[in-house]
Amino acid sequence: MRIEIICTGDEILTGKTINTNFSHISRKLQEVGLAVRWGTTVGDDRESLIEAFRLAGERADTVIVNGGLGPTVDDLSQEIAAKAAGVGLVLNEHWLERIEALFRRHGLIMQPNNRKQALLPETAELIDNPIGTACGFELDIGRARFYFTPGVPKELHLMLDEQIVPRLLARGGTMTVARVKRFHAFGLGESHVDSLLEGIENLAPDSSVKLGFQTHYPELEIKLSVRGSALDELLRRLEPIEAEVRRRLGNFIVAEDDDTVESIVITTLARQQASLAVAETLTGGLIAARLAQLPGAESVFRRGLVAPVGSQLEYILGLAGGRLSAGPLNEEALVEAARALLIQSGATHALVALADHADGADLQAPGFTLWFAIATLERFAVRSSQPRLIGGDWLRAGAAEMGLDSLRRFLQDLPVYERIDFENA
User: Nearest approach, Cβ of 308 to a copy of itself (angstroms)?
Assistant: 4
Please count the helices (runs of H) and the strands (runs of E) in the chain: 14, 17
Q: Cα–Cα–Cα angle for 98, 100, 101, nearest 5°? A: 65
CB-based contact 146:49 (threshold 8 Å): no
CA 295 to chain centre: 18
Q: Which is nearer to a copy of itself, 214 or 268 (CB)?
A: 214
User: Nearest approach, Cβ of 176 to a copy of itself (angstroms)?
Assistant: 22
Q: How many Å apart are CA 242 and CA 244, to the nearest integer?
A: 5
Q: Which is nearer to a copy of itself, 250 or 296 (CB)?
A: 296
Q: How many Å apart are CA 134 and CA 146, to the nearest integer?
A: 16
User: Nearest approach, Cβ of 13 to a copy of itself (angstroms)?
Assistant: 6
What are residue 9's phi and psi, to 5 degrees? Answer: 130, 135
User: Nearest approach, Cβ of 123 to a copy of itself (angstroms)?
Assistant: 27
Q: Which is nearer to a copy of itself, 216 or 247 (CB)?
A: 216
Q: How many Å apart are CA 81 and CA 123, to the nearest integer?
A: 10
* Site for a copy of itself, rule CB under 8 A: 5, 7, 12-20, 22-28, 30, 35-43, 48, 51, 55, 59, 213-215, 278, 284-289, 291-293, 295, 297-298, 301-309, 312, 315-316, 345-346, 358-360, 392-393, 396
Q: Which is nearer to a copy of itself, 55 or 200 (CB)?
A: 55
What are residue 280's phi and psi, to 5 degrees? Answer: -145, 145
User: Nearest approach, Cβ of 95 to a copy of itself (angstroms)?
Assistant: 27
The C-alpha R_g of the chain, in whole angstroms, comes to: 27
Which of the 8 DSSP states describes residue 308?
S
Q: Which is nearer to a copy of itself, 139 or 288 (CB)?
A: 288
Q: How many Å apart are CA 350 and CA 335, to the nearest integer?
A: 10
Q: Which is nearer to a copy of itself, 83 or 302 (CB)?
A: 302
User: Nearest approach, Cβ of 91 to a copy of itself (angstroms)?
Assistant: 30
CB-based contact 30:65 (threshold 8 Å): no
**Category of 17 on φ-ψ map: left (φ > 0), alpha (ψ -120 to 50) or beta:** beta
User: Nearest approach, Cβ of 232 to a copy of itself (angstroms)?
Assistant: 29
Q: Which is nearer to a copy of itself, 393 or 418 (CB)?
A: 393
**Cβ within 8 Å of residue 128, ≥6 positions away:** 135, 136, 159, 162, 163
